[in-house]
Chains A and B, each alone.
Chain A
Amino acid sequence: MDKPVPIAIDDVVKRIQDLPSLSTVVLELLASMEQEDVDLQVLAAKISLDQSLAAKTLRLANSSFYGMSTKVTTIHQAISILGFHHIRTLVTACAVTGSFTETTGGGFDFRAFWRHSVGTAVCARQLAPHLKCSPDIAFTVGLLHDIGALVLATRFPQRYEEMLAYRRAHDCYVVEAEQAVFGIDHALVGSALAAYWKFPASMQSAVAGHHQQPDPNQGALGLLVHAADILAHALDLSGLEDELAPPLDLDSWNALGLSEADSTALFAQSEAIFQDMCQILVN
């Protein structure tokens, strides 16, 4: 085929504005991620108004994710027992996975997409203590790291089909196929969406760079998401037949500093927590 005209990032940004919008509550929660003084009572009341969002959040709070012995039955109770940071992470996860439901036909596998995203989120959370990162920020960035793929698939469905066919024909990485067919990749598109949703800067750059060799000067969150994505592929969490683990360079492996006991625990915990989370977040 003739080399297709590359899509300009500005065109993508315009299409982003056509996406189903996240509710105001969730946008407020995302924007508050690096703020210190947040009005908990007001936010808790707003979350509780959305019944299905609140119900899903409570199911997650009561799952093995936190392994609590007491069940929580209201958002206020969940916040007082688990703390606002944890609840914010859960609410964001529920809202985002609920926002993008299958709207187009075509080759995009929504279920596999969310399975991989939840898998990366869980792996990122389990890796976070090793890299001294916040588990909640790690989980949220992991969940949203591939969101650019959703933009490309839903805004440019025909080209997306061509990209998938290219990937299959060459058995190459998705970013290689995207570069060939779109001229841009989902990491760049994802960072544009992260900017639009006003994520903290550290999260935007972690999304932008997740398929590149991490820059040690950029902070640990980039390495964390890069490694978590690879691990989620390597643990085969998405359920896709033609899964492919991206490469991990030696410096990044050494920077993770995982002993054998660490990696065994990491694999086991990630798999177990992933099963529980998927039952609640991905239908």
Chain B
Amino acid sequence: MSTLELGIDEAAAGMVLGADLKDDGGAVLLPAGATLAAATLASLRQRGIATLTVQAPDTPHDSAEREALRARQLARLAHLFRRSAQAGGSAHLLERLRAYRRNG
């Protein structure tokens, strides 16, 4: 499992810690493998934590595999919105979800 170092403001809820997060004294605040909830990130920020090591997201090695997964996810979105894509708000929501699935 490869890891990334991120500034606290780049980290997002749902990311998983790639290494034990320790305070200045060396005590473990959160163990490797802990999922970062929004509330956790807020409290870490308050404690003055500046950087975090997170697990890099799993991505299929094969770019064709990645493309196929994206295609399936986008097709699934079209299926979910098959009756509502015309609604004004749904069109915006669908656009945001497409971008989210494409970048995932």
Contacts and interface: CB of A to CB of B under 8 A. Distances in A.
Contact of A249 (B37, B80, B83, B89): B89
B37 A65 contact: yes
Interface string B21-42: 0000000011000111111110
Interface string A246-278: 111111111000101001110111011100100
Given A233-B80, A236-B76, A272-B13, A247 B87 contact: yes
Contact of B35 (A263, A265, A272): A272
Band of interface residues on B: 20 to 34
A215 to B, nearest CB: 15
B14 interface: yes
A66 B13 CA distance: 11
B37 A273 contact: yes
Given A64-B40, A67-B43, 9 more contacts: A67-B38, A171-B83, A236-B76, A245-B81, A248-B84, A248-B93, A251-B88, A268-B14, A268-B100
Interface of B: 12-14, 29-30, 34-41, 43, 76-77, 79-84, 86-90, 92-94, 96-97, 99-100
Interface of A: 64-69, 126, 171-173, 230-231, 233-236, 243-254, 258, 260, 263-265, 267-269, 271-273, 276
